[in-house]
Amino acid sequence: MSAGDVPREKRGAFDRLGVSPGLLLSVCVWIWAMVELPWEFAGCEKIDEALALVLSKAILGTSVFFALRGLVLARSVVIFICATSVVAIVPSISTEYDAFRLGFYLSVIECVLKGATLLILLREGAAKSR
């Protein structure tokens, strides 16, 4: 029995949206990346840093868009971005707490979102491969 055979009102919230929880969290990661953008731009000292920041946001946004469209490679790129971000951010969180308190809170939220997205996307991928 597929989701199309079950009446719409009896399906789960994610089935009604047509989006998996991992992909929905991926959208939340991208939205949070846009929320953080002004503070990240404020930390850019050179134009090449700002261009790298814009490029990274464009890659994230494009990856999330194509993952929502069902492209497996894009989903893998989102997983990679989330994993590398968490690995890069977590070691500096304790020093950020003393140096820039707002940055600490922004980083904690980012790590929680990306960590949850990573775990759920990996779990969904493992479930599909069975």
Side-chain half-sphere of 57: how many Cα atoms within 13 Å? 16
Q: What is the pLDDT of residues 29-83, one digit of tens each?
A: 999 999 999 999 999 999 999 999 999 999 999 999 999 999 999 999 999 999 9
Structure token digits, residue 17: 């949206």
CA distances for 70 relative to 40, 45, 75, 96, angstroms? 30, 38, 8, 37
| Direct distance between the N- and C-terminal alpha carbons of the chain, in angstroms, rounded to an integer | 17
Which residues, 6 or more positions from 62, have their beta carbon under 8 angstroms from its beta carbon?
Answer: 74
* Stated pTM of the model: 0.83
